[in-house]
Amino acid sequence: MHLAYPAVLSALLFCTGLYGVLARRNAILVLMSVELMLNAVNLNLVAFDVWLSKAAEETLHSGQALTLFTITIAAAEIGIGLAIVLAVHRNRGTADIDKLRDTAEGHESDGPDRDASTAAQAEKAEATA
Amino acid sequence: MTTTTLAVLVPLLPFLGAAAGLLLGRTAPGFVRPLAVLPALASLVLAAVVAARQGGDQAINAATELTPTGSVPIELALHIDGFAALVAVLVGVVATCVQIYSTGYLREDPRYPSYAALVSLFTSAMLLVVYSGDLMVLLVGWEIMGICSYFLVGHYWETPEARAASIKAFLVTKLGDVPFLIGLFALATDAGSFRITKVLGTVASGGLDHPTLIALLLLAGVAGKSAQFPLHTWLPDAMAGPTPVSALIHAATMVAAGVYFIARLLPVFEASQAAMIVLAVMAAVTMIGSGLAALAQDDIKRVLAYSTIGQLGYMTGALAVADRGAAVFHLLSHGAFKALLFLAAGVIIHAAGTNSLAAMSRMTHLRDRVPDAFWTMTVALLALAAIPPFSGFFSKESVLGAAEHAATGHAERVPGTSGWVVLVAGLLTALLTAAYAMRLWLLAFHGRGAEAPDHGRQPLTMTVVLWVLAAPSLAVGALAYRVLPDWFDGRDLAPTLTTSVLGTGVALVGGIVTYAAWRHTTAAAARVPLGAVAAHPEGDAAQVEAEAIASHAPVYGGVAYAPDPADPGRLLLGPLHRHAAVGFHLDAVYRVLFVRPVQAGASLVRFLDREVVDTYVGGAGALPRWLGLAVRRAQTGNVQTYVSALLAGTVVLAVAAVLVATGA
């Protein structure tokens, strides 16, 4: 099989993943898109490893070995990512990335955080008074 | 022990006493009084032994190099001649008396430990100045005295007068000390040494290149320290300090340091005719001006302060006619009777509850409340007015005699003009001195009106020292003028007939005229009630004095002034009284000449700092702030936006890397 086929496929997969990361609103879909990008990379690794070993320049198959690492790490990553999404969903009732803007400039957070921060401010004012 | 060892111990003991007093003052209050009195007493005994061993013979010189400086060396040197030995005894006597007196005067003062330690430190510094044979070491003592004076004048720092006076005293004396320091450097450069003996040797061989410049620079420091015109204005204000401090520092010793310094280095000044004439004019202006001002003061201590300035004028006058024997003779007798006057004034202020003569002149029986102060003060005032046979008569006559000697052209190297200036001013001042001494005596002790308040018996420590100090004023004068020439330069100090008759005559005239004026005005005293009295039967003298000082300006309208029509000084001075009461507006002149420009400069600097420098600083901060505002807009909180920016950046970098790699 010519190298071009897996390369083009992996490029397409990567671009799909990239689009998903940049454009999807649901956090779970964003995570899935990240998986797509990772797998595009895995595909690339395997394809090039085969191509290079055919030319007998590489006999250790380090590309395929590295793919195993990537899969492992991707599994861990998706586990943590889903846990975070779950926690956010429990906390906010939504997993919509557009609504998670707590780090925006001039953002006033709502929810239980605000009470805590105002309480802290009141405490500080008392201390200075 | 050798005389040198004893002489080293003389300034060292009070210094150790001061250090111990400062360290132990809080933890061991029981030791404070012995630590204050005993070192002073011990150094007095040692100074007397040194004087006895020195005996007016060849000067004792001892030196050890303090540190190699590369150019002019600084040495720890002693130079004890007759002048140094006797002045050290005077300092010891006055310091001991003042320390004993202070134990009673500041009996309940919470700051007594630091006060006593500072007085000890001051005593040590003065003895260092007296004994030092090296001008740099002398300067160290000179400046320590200045800072002690600052702290002690501000002892009642709760009162605004004391705070202002301490700062003024410090600044004005420093104004003189800067030229003084430069003068010392110039002198040492010309002479190649700071040692007094070597300096005098250079002068004798005519090796001094700039005598007038050096003499005038040194004179500035002397004028500041010895309160001579035009740098005398700090001394009357320094009376806001406790009375024993006034007695020790601002009457008997520190202010005499300037005179003593000139006496030591007289040949340097003699090398310049111009400096001698400046000295004579300075002395004359100081004498007459202070005499007039003393006649118009209402605060008893300010009268004495102006009197001190005048008597120091006599000493500088004697130096201006190149008779240092007469100057130091007057220094010694004045030191004793002026310390006595101040200490007695402290007793009177305590007894009367006020420092205002106008208020005292409306009290009867003040004299009977403080008989010791009355009798000793009478003696001291007679000595001050130079009435024979009190000590002041002999010392003042020796000054006038020296002036007459110079005026008639009998003194070498002294211009006749200085002689005439000093003689005329001296006689005029003798008249004024007798007048204000009489006024003080009459107003303080011959008042009519209400009974003087009862502040109880004065402590024994305060009355005994008065008699100790009265002894020299009473008896020593007639003896001293026969003995002292052996200790000094050998010049005759005996009063001459002409000046004695003239001086005593004008003094009697001054006294009688004042008495007549007082008889004339005293009827008015009863008609004008005046005065405020601090009544603290339980309080110690210091508390009474602090309150009297603090209340003087609010009650009478000024620290030096009282609207009293019954004041004989007002009648005698006529229209001059208003100006004399404020020291001839010299403070106002200084305010216009120095204080205002400095304040204007300060506000200019403040304007430049606030409006110009801060604008640049603010501008430097504003640009980053605006940039930061722009960058903050990018922070939307949307993670996908960030990732998009990251992607765009990566693409740009990748393209750039590819372009670079392909060499395009």
pLDDT reported for residue B272: 85
Q: Does residue B575 have a cis peptide bond before it, meaning omega lies within 30 degrees of 0?
A: no
Residues B330-352, mean pLDDT to the nearest whole number: 88
Confidence of residue A112 (pLDDT cuts 50, 70, 90): very low
Residues on chain A touching B635 (C-beta within 8 angstroms):
103-105
Residue B25 pLDDT greater than 60, yes or no:
yes
Which tops the pLDDT comparison, B420 or B580?
A: B420
pLDDT in tens, B549-572: 777 777 776 666 677 777 777 778
Which one of B636, B640, B647 has the shortest CB-CB distance to A104?
B636
Contact B636 A18 (CB under 8 A): no
- Structural domains of chain A ordered from first start: 4-95 (1.10.287.3510)
Q: Which stretch of DSSP H or E encloses residue B174?
A: helix B160-191
Chain A residues within 8 A of B650 when measuring between CB atoms: none
The b/e string for B302-340 (b: 16+ C-beta within 10 A; e otherwise) is bbbbbbbbbbbbbbbbbbbbbbbbbbbbbbbbbbbbbbb
Count residue pairs from A and B with Cβ separation < 8 A: 31
Give me the mean pLDDT over the A51-73 stretch: 85
- Torsion of the alpha carbons at A90, A92, A95 and A97, rounded to the nearest 10: -150
pLDDT at A20: 92
Q: Does the predicted model carry a pTM greater than 0.80?
A: no
Q: What is the mean pLDDT of residues B628-640?
A: 83
Name the amino acid, one letter, at B413: R
At B664, the pLDDT band (50, 70, 90 cuts) reads low
Q: Is the pLDDT of residue B577 over 70?
A: yes
**Mean per-residue pLDDT for B645-653?**
93
Q: Is the pLDDT of residue A58 over 80?
A: no
Is the pLDDT higher at B652 or at B405? B652
Residues B72 and B198: beta-carbon distance below 8 Å:
no
What is the structure's pLDDT at A121? Answer: 54
Beta strand pairing call for B450-451 and B60-67? unpaired
Give the confidence band of B661 by pLDDT, cuts at 50, 70, 90: very high
Q: At what angle do helices B477-487 and B324-352 cross, to 10 degrees?
A: 140
Amino acid symbol at B489: D
- The rounded distance, in Å, linking the Cα atoms of A99 and B225 is 82
Q: What is the pLDDT of residue B599?
A: 93
Could you tell me what percent of chain B has a pLDDT over 70?
A: 95
Q: Region B388-411: what's the mean pLDDT? A: 84
Contact B638 A104 (CB under 8 A): yes
Q: Does B628 touch chain A (CB under 8 A)?
A: no
Tell me the sheet residues that pair with A26.
A96
Give the pLDDT of residue B570.
Answer: 79
pLDDT value for B605: 95
From A40's Cα to the closest Cα of chain B, the distance in A is 17
- The better pLDDT of the pair B529, B117 is held by B117
Q: In this complex, is the C-beta atom of B638 within 8 Å of any C-beta atom belonging to chain A?
A: yes
DSSP state of B448: -
Of B632, B633, B643, the CB nearest to A21: B643
pLDDT number for residue A111: 46
> What's residue A43's pLDDT?
94
Give the distance from residue A98's alpha carbon to the nearest chain B alpha carbon, in angstroms.
6
B631 touches chain A (CB under 8 A): no
Phi/psi class of residue B70: alpha, beta or left (left: φ > 0; alpha: ψ in -120 to 50)? left
- Put simply, the chain A residues between 90 and 129 with a CB less than 8 A from any chain B CB are 97-98, 100-105, 107
Window 17-36 of A: residues touching B by CB (8 A cutoff) are: 18, 21-23, 30
SS3 B212: helix
Task: Output the six-digit token pair for B593.
Answer: 């000449």
The confidence band for B532, taking pLDDT boundaries of 50, 70 and 90, is low
Indicate the SS3 state at residue B310.
helix
Main-chain dihedrals φ then ψ at residue B78, nearest 5 degrees: -110, 140
Backbone torsion region of residue B546, taken as left when φ is above 0, otherwise alpha when ψ lies between -120 and 50, otherwise beta: alpha
The per-residue pLDDT for B653 is 96
Strand B60-67 relative to strand B74-80: parallel, antiparallel, unpaired? Answer: antiparallel
Residue in B closest to A109 by C-alpha: B637
Percentage of chain B lying above the pLDDT 90 cut: 14
Query: In this predicted model, what pLDDT tens digit does every residue of B360-374 receive, in sequence order?
Result: 877 877 788 888 888
pLDDT at B630: 86
Confidence at residue A114, expressed as pLDDT on a 0 to 100 scale: 46
Q: What is the pLDDT of residue A128?
A: 54
Please provide the average confidence, as pLDDT, over all residues in chain B.
85
Three-state SS letters, A46-105: HHHHHHHHHCCCCCCCHHHHHHHHHHHHHHHHHHHHHHHHHHHHHHHCCCEHHHCCCCCC
From the centroid of its chain, how far is CA B46? Answer: 26
Q: Is the pLDDT of residue B101 over 80?
A: yes
pLDDT at B538: 61
Helices (H), B254-390: 254-264, 266-270, 273-296, 300-320, 324-352, 357-360, 366-369, 371-384
Lowest mean pLDDT among A110-124, B196-210, B615-629: A110-124
Q: In this structure, is the dihedral angle defined by the CA atoms of residues A96, A97, A99 and A100, taken in order, positive or negative?
A: positive
| Helices vs. strands in chain A: H and E counts, helices first | 4, 0
ipTM field: 0.74
3-state secondary structure of B648: helix
**Is residue B535 pLDDT above 70, yes or no?**
no
Q: Do A22 and B636 touch (CB under 8 A)?
A: no
Give residue B527's pLDDT band: very low, low, confident or very high (50, 70, 90).
low
Report, as an integer, the average pLDDT of B96-112: 86
Q: What pLDDT, on a 0 to 100 scale, did the predictor assign at position B274?
A: 86
Mean pLDDT of chain A: 82
Average pLDDT over residues B11-36: 86
Distance CA A18, CA B311 (A): 102
The per-residue pLDDT for B493 is: 76
Of the ranges B324-328, B446-450, B525-529, which one carries the lowest mean pLDDT score? Answer: B525-529
Q: What per-residue confidence (pLDDT) applies to A11?
A: 95
What would the mean pLDDT of B123-145 be, rounded to a whole number?
90
- pLDDT at residue B361, rounded to an integer: 79
State the SS3 of B581-600.
Answer: HCCCCHHHHHHHHHHHHHHH
